[in-house]
Amino acid sequence: MKAHSERLPSAEVQDCFRRLRAHMPGRVERAKGPKGEADPFRALVACMLSAQSRDANTRLAADALFRLADTPQATLALDEAVIARAIRPCGLYNAKARNILRMAAALLDRHGGAVPTTRDGLTALPGVGRKCADIMLSFVYDRPVIAVDTHVFRVANRLGLTRAPTADCTADELAARAPRWALRDGHFWLIQFGKAVCHARAPECPTCFLADLCLWRRAN
């Protein structure tokens, strides 16, 4: 299959998002933070644990850790080895344990224990990257941000909404090219579309409601 090297024009970007809004579920009132956590600290920890981890394993790791500690102060009272053992199901547990302790210390040192509410404040924390920060902004703080995970990165670049080499660049292009009204729910529409229709290995192009707009489909 050939890749494409173009971007959809603005009018077709608008059309894509209108169709996504019509066909895909958006944010629901019960939407909470990452892995169902409404509390900002717990949500941030869960987001950090989710890196390169399946949802079920992330949930196991988060539940085990939160039984031991679920505040910055309580977390800092734990040994790194204890945290690593608790979060073992999510993989990369040694590095994640170290980053969780460093993040908790930074919250107490710089923010009085509160989780920042800006992208710059979040990404300044140890172990917190752009994707995690944007997920926090979208899910926890209800900001109009399209967080870019694996599904959103694939779908946005395959359709031609963006043409970007990295997730961070994709996030920047979506922020610039998506219509303002789509920013709040765009992450939800794109991720559900990626899971239900635009699969990584076998996208359901023949029945896809965006097939006539998709640049990847046109190229193949």
Active site residues: 131, 149
Question: Is the Cβ–Cβ distance between 34 and 43 less than 8 Å?
Answer: yes
Those residues with Cβ within 8 angstroms of residue 174's Cβ, 6 or more apart along the chain or in another chain: 146, 148, 152, 156, 161, 162, 186
Among 107, 34, 116, 99, residue whose Cα is nearest residue 72? 107
The tokens describing 127, both together, are 């172990």
Which residues lie below 8 Å from residue 110, measured CB to CB, with a gap of 6+?
Answer: 124
Q: Report d(CA 194, CA 212) in Å as an integer.
A: 17
